[in-house]
Amino acid sequence: MAFFSKKQTKKAEEVDFSNLPRHIAIILDGNGRWAQQRNLPRTAGHAAGAETFRKIATYCRDIGLEYLTVYAFSTENWKRPKNEVDTIMSLLEKYLYEAIDRMERDKVKMCFFGDTTVLSPELQELIARTREISLHYEGCQVNICLNYGGRDEILRAVAQYAQEYKAGTAPELTEESFSRYLYSAGVPDPDLLIRPGGELRLSNFLMWQSAYSELYFTDTLWPDFTEADINRAIAAYQHRDRRFGGIKP
């Protein structure tokens, strides 16, 4: 698949599309600063960020990525002003309404990581419908992390395991069996974790799953993120030497 003609291609963006990571995770960060730079309310940044998400998710599907996981709202983001939280939630509703309409055409499978039971009934209903429709699709799987925290995810997994242990139904505790208690059960760990927005931290994202992810940080704010940025991240990933604690043969 030629996404750039030879002339347009810049070296830093040169991707080997036959050797993509299976799973890319992205922290969607920088919406607020993008808006502030334009003298707009932070909420305008979230609206722009939602558009960027549409564009990048479509691109990832088109290049044949198997899994895309995005951090959309953390367990800590409830600390923000009510107006900002409400706007993010209504943008999510709008996004899901539209996504449901387009799912047949888009052939994207959507899943949700995080405790969605505290979200509005409308949002929960949309999530349930999206999940149901997704059961029919086999294509690119997009995981949206909503009210998600890596520590919260691990605590919940431990609590569930302990309950089963007490009932005598728990499996032997191994990394493999434990990972089946996480929201990401059945999904391979992210190979590449991207954080736009300039911050050099994980902010409680995929704490268990990112143990051996390749990290890629960029100052580009999420609403400005383009297909060329994701190509640059993938190209950088393709030059990394993944050893998983071993040594090069």
Task: Using CB under 6 A, list all residues that contact ligand IPE.
Answer: 27-33, 71-74, 77, 88, 197, 199, 201, 203
Question: Cα–Cα distance between 241 and 25 in angstroms, integer?
Answer: 19
The SS3 call for residue 89 is helix
Q: Is residue 29 close enough to count as binding Mg ion by CB under 5 A?
A: yes
* Catalytic residue selected from 77, 115, 204, 224: 77
Binding residues for Mg ion, rule CB under 5 A, total 1
147 is catalytic: no
Q: Is residue 27 close enough to count as binding Mg ion by CB under 5 A?
A: no
- The 10 Å CB-count burial string (b at 16+, else e) for 130-153 is beeebeeeeebbbbbbbbbbbebb
In the complex, least distance from residue 82 CB atom to ligand IPE, rounded to whole angstroms:
14
The H or E element containing residue 146 is strand 141-148
Residue 9 near which of ligand IPE, Mg ion, none (CB within 5-8 Å, type-dependent): none
- Give me the residue whose beta carbon is nearest to Mg ion: 29
Output 71 or 113, the one with its CB closest to ligand IPE: 71
Report how far apart, in Å, the C-alpha atoms of 135 and of each of 79, 96, 108, 142, 181 are.
34, 16, 10, 13, 20
Counting Cα atoms < 13 Å in the Cβ hemisphere of 130 gives 26
Spatial CB neighbours of 105, under 8 Å, sequence gap ≥ 6: none
Output 205 or 237, the one with its CB closest to ligand IPE: 205
Residue 31 near which of Mg ion, ligand IPE, none (CB within 5-8 Å, type-dependent): ligand IPE
Residue 27 near which of Mg ion, ligand IPE, none (CB within 5-8 Å, type-dependent): ligand IPE
29 is catalytic: yes
Strand partners, 70: 26, 144
Binding site for Mg ion (CB under 5 A): 29
**Residues classed as catalytic:** 29, 77
